[in-house]
Chain A
Amino acid sequence: MFGYEFYVDPSRCIGCQSCVSACAECGTHRGVSMIHLDFIDRPNTIATAPMVCMHCEDPTCAQVCPADAIKKGEDGIVRTALKPRCIGCSNCVLACPFGVPNVFAEMELMMKCDMCYDRTSIGKRPMCATVCPSQALMYVPAEQAAQKRRERASNEFHFGGQVVRTKVHYMLPASEPVMSVDVADAIWEGEE
């Protein structure tokens, strides 16, 4: 669908697992859900956040793949690893700054969210976006997203020194233009 963009707004997620079920129904990866639904700081909060592949402009997963198994199509969508090539080394799992790829050891294959390119290419919305009741996952034209939400959609992320631009947008508070993550901040350094 031309002009349609994918938006992820974790602040709207209610943890209902609809997206997880919807994703698992898809015919291309039957029964296995590709979406991550993360519980954040479980002991202290009920907050959850969905994570889909962000479809980076310069995908780190593909850059580190020793088998040249991860390809990005003309549509800008980064595909699941090519089955004949993937050796299941998990480099991509470790390298993806968003923690998206999953390696299935029994299949020796990395599989990940491919934004339902089979559906989006024929004018349908991705499975998860069709079912999300709170529209934490939303697939709409850019103007509509800007009009309906007070958050700002961003597709630039800074991970320490690495700048990552993505196809999928992330909703951020209007006060924060880009999301900056310093990995060192998240490293546990023992009890305070």
Chain B
Amino acid sequence: MSQQKECPKQRLWSEEFSVRSGESSFVERRQFTRFLTLTSFAMFAGQLWLVAKNLLSRRQAAFPALVVNGADGLAVGSAKVFQYPTPQDNCLLVRVGEQKFVAYSQKCTHLSCAVLYSAKHNRLECPCHEGYFSIEDGRVLQGPPPRPLPRVELERRGSELVAIGMTTGEES
């Protein structure tokens, strides 16, 4: 009987998938706690990553200066769409007074529908879920949007109106 040998050393899988039902429920409990620990660690790491990403992206937010064309042709109390800071970002320029212009991102902070200027109520209105924004500072007047509309900062340079930056309002 010299070639008789005991079963080989138990491998990891046979510990994890034990044949004995008692042990296997033990392992399930252990796997559960491992799962909990690892997931909460992953959540924590994810949060850190978000924070880091936020900090970095805030730092590199340098906006170009862009001339807004056609501002002078705009009648008081009317609006026009322009693109700022990239050609993909639609913004709304509103002439609220003879010399007074305001501009906001056109992307509703709720679900990104395009907001429109309502001359009748002198406010910005999102047609999708009736989110209304103030024309003064872009704050939410009613409806589901969680944040004010990002505001485009404008500057008069001689005869030209120049967009020089954007400010994002805080969540309210």
**Residue ranges of A at the interface with B (Cβ–Cβ < 8 Å):** 58-59, 62-63, 68, 70-74, 78-79, 158, 160-163, 180
Contacts and interface: CB of A to CB of B under 8 A. Distances in A.
Interface residues of B, number: 13
Contacts of B1: 158, 180
Contacts of A68: 17, 24
Contacts of B21: 71-74, 79
Interface stretch (B3-11, B78-86, B149-157): B3-11
A58 B20 CA distance: 9
B19 A62 contact: yes
B4 A71 contact: no
Interface string B48-66: 0000000000000000000
B70 interface: no
B14 interface: yes
A63 B14 CA distance: 8
Contacts of A180: 1
A37 to B, nearest CB: 28
B19 A72 contact: yes
Contacts of B20: 71-74
Given A63-B14, A71-B24, A163 B4 contact: yes
A161 B7 contact: no
A72 to B, nearest CB: 5
Contact of B19 (A59, A158, A162): A59
Given A71-B24, A74-B22, A161 B17 contact: no
Contacts of B6: 163
11 contacts: A70-B19, A71-B21, A71-B24, A73-B20, A74-B20, A79-B21, A158-B1, A158-B4, A160-B3, A161-B4, A161-B5
B2 to A, nearest CB: 10
B15 to A, nearest CB: 12
Nearest to A70: B19
Nearest to B6: A163
B71 to A, nearest CB: 70
B126 to A, nearest CB: 50
A71 B19 contact: yes
Given A74-B21, A74-B22, A163-B4, 8 more contacts: A59-B19, A62-B19, A68-B24, A71-B19, A73-B20, A73-B21, A74-B20, A161-B5
B25 to A, nearest CB: 10
B3 A161 contact: yes
Contacts of B22: 73-74
A72 B14 CA distance: 13
Contacts of B7: 58, 162-163
